[in-house]
Amino acid sequence: MASSGALEKPRQLSLQDLDALALGAWILGTGGGGDPYHKLLNTKMLYREGMFAALIDPFDLADDALVAVVSTMGAPLVGKERIPDAYHALRPVRTMEDFLGRPFDAVMSMEIGGGNGVHPTMVAAFTGYPVVDADGMGRAYPELQMTSFAVGGLSCIPFALSDIRENDVLITTAVDNRWVERLARSLTTEVGSTATICMAPRTGAEIKEHGILHTTTQAIGLGHAVLEARRNHLDPVDAIISVGRGLRLFTGKVIDVDRHATKGFLRGRARIEGLGADAGSEFTVHFQNEFSVGYQDDKAAVMTPDLICVVDSVSGDGISTEAIRYGQRVTVLALPGPDVFKSENGLTFAGPRAFGFDLDFRSVFQDESK
């Protein structure tokens, strides 16, 4: 059946835009979303073969346009061994189209963070569908229901999942969004703790009302700012703070990492010994795929849904939870999170208690605004 949604004004992403997107998404990933490097290489390979990705503003989507919401699911550490490829990213999209009986009009990332921010460019290059300049998180979160669409009361089903062995799974009925997460997480763990997914299709109207808008442009802008700072021998961390409207929380050296993959997640914590102005103090960041809460000495200093970004103090590169290691010189930054997750309802999805911390959310930007 032919697609009914009309699209306007997509613009092709340049190779420079792709590089900036990967870098910016890595920072916005708050330690998660997977390393974007191999997905960037996959998209560049498709460009060399004459297939390209274009970006479309969400407000240029027709209200009835149908958008595939795509991502990789699993423990990011596994992605270091099971390298992603564009065909694997496409398969759950085709499974969903077969179920719906119609093609999609566009594709969008479930989360802009890390490799998942680059993920839809592979699908876009293969299919010709434009990438919508939006996502459902404004960062990366570890669980499927931690999206602005779920906060808005929209369902996660139907839901499609594909593994690397040509197994394709479709969930058409579930009690609620958390059960979709539980079922999908169990499946992902069983197939090796990594899978590609296509979430419930979203209409243009739903994206405009509930999506986190213009996050692809945000990531590209952030990446370009870091690259420009490097070219001009300026501080990339200062560039992130300026463009991202962020705060520098702590600078130091990683002295210990406790990390383990379990039940489809990468969990643990990293301890950072202060340097310079922070000498004599210690910062601990806890993570479940992404950094969730940070303590300076014994006091909670920053917590989700504020973005906790750990970056290389020299290059400004994002540092992931699977790659953070002893001896790295790092800077801990906070960037503002989407307002939807700071509401009373939003905090039940993505506040500190959603990650097992008995803390009342307090944004570091509340203190800054006084």
Same domain for 176 and 284, yes or no, is: no
Same domain for 181 and 252, yes or no, is: no
**pLDDT of 82:** 74
Q: Could you report the per-residue pLDDT of 150-198, keeping only the tens digit for each? A: 999 999 999 999 998 999 999 999 999 999 999 999 999 898 888 999 9
Tell me, yes or no, whether 178 lies in a domain.
yes
**If you average pLDDT over residues 258-286, what whole number do you get?**
92
Distances (CA, A) of 3 to 11, 66, 101: 20, 8, 10
Question: What is the tally of helices (H) and strands (E) in the chain?
Answer: 11, 18
State which residues form the domain around 178. 11-216
Alpha-carbon gap, residue 279 to 275, rounded angstroms: 4
Same domain for 190 and 260, yes or no, is: no
Same domain for 205 and 285, yes or no, is: no
Q: What is the DSSP letter of 318?
A: B
The domain that holds 328 is classified in CATH as 2.40.390.10
- The share of the chain scoring above pLDDT 90, in percent, equals 85
SS3 30: coil
Quick check: 304 and 351 in contact, CB under 8 A?
yes
**pLDDT of 1:** 33
Quick check: 288 and 308 in contact, CB under 8 A?
no
Q: Could you report the per-residue pLDDT of 83-102, keeping only the tens digit for each? A: 778 899 999 999 999 999 99
pTM for the model stands at: 0.94
Q: Could you report the per-residue pLDDT of 301-338, keeping only the tens digit for each? A: 999 999 999 999 999 999 999 999 999 999 999 999 99
Closest by CA position to 247, among listed 352, 117, 360, 337: 337
Same domain for 34 and 181, yes or no, is: yes
**pLDDT of 8:** 61
Residue 325 tokens read as 């290691």
Alpha-carbon gap, residue 233 to 191, rounded angstroms: 45
The residue type at 344 = E
Tell me, yes or no, whether 44 lies in a domain.
yes
**pLDDT of 370:** 44
Residue 129 tokens read as 């569908």
Tell me, yes or no, whether 225 lies in a domain.
no
Same domain for 308 and 200, yes or no, is: no
Measured on CA atoms in the order 101, 105, 111, 113, is the torsion positive or negative?
positive
The domain that holds 186 is classified in CATH as 3.40.1610.10
Which residue, 187, 216, 245, sits at the end of a domain?
216
Which residue, 188, 216, 244, sits at the end of a domain?
216
Tell me, yes or no, whether 227 lies in a domain.
no
Tell me, yes or no, whether 130 lies in a domain.
yes
Please give the mean pLDDT across all residues of the chain: 93
Tell me, yes or no, whether 229 lies in a domain.
no
Same domain for 183 and 240, yes or no, is: no
Peptide bond into 305 cis (omega under 30): yes
Question: What is the residue-wise DSSP string for 55-81?
Answer: EE-GGGB-TT-EEEEEEEEE-GGGGGT
**pLDDT class for 22, splitting at 50, 70, 90?**
very high
**pLDDT of 120:** 97
Same domain for 268 and 134, yes or no, is: no
Other CB atoms within 10 A of residue 183 CB: 18
Largest CA distance in the chain: 65
Q: What is the DSSP letter of 139?
A: S
**pLDDT of 17:** 98
Same domain for 166 and 82, yes or no, is: yes
Alpha-carbon gap, residue 57 to 9, rounded angstroms: 8
Same domain for 178 and 262, yes or no, is: no
The structure tokens 């994002």 sit at 318
Q: Out of 76-80, 187-191, 270-274, pick the least confident.
A: 76-80
Alpha-carbon gap, residue 180 to 155, rounded angstroms: 9
How many domains are contained in the chain? Answer: 2
Same domain for 212 and 93, yes or no, is: yes
Same domain for 138 and 277, yes or no, is: no
SS3 111: coil
Sheet holding 265-274, edge to edge: 299-303, 290-296, 282-288, 265-274, 247-262, 329-335, 307-312
Tell me, yes or no, whether 5 lies in a domain.
no
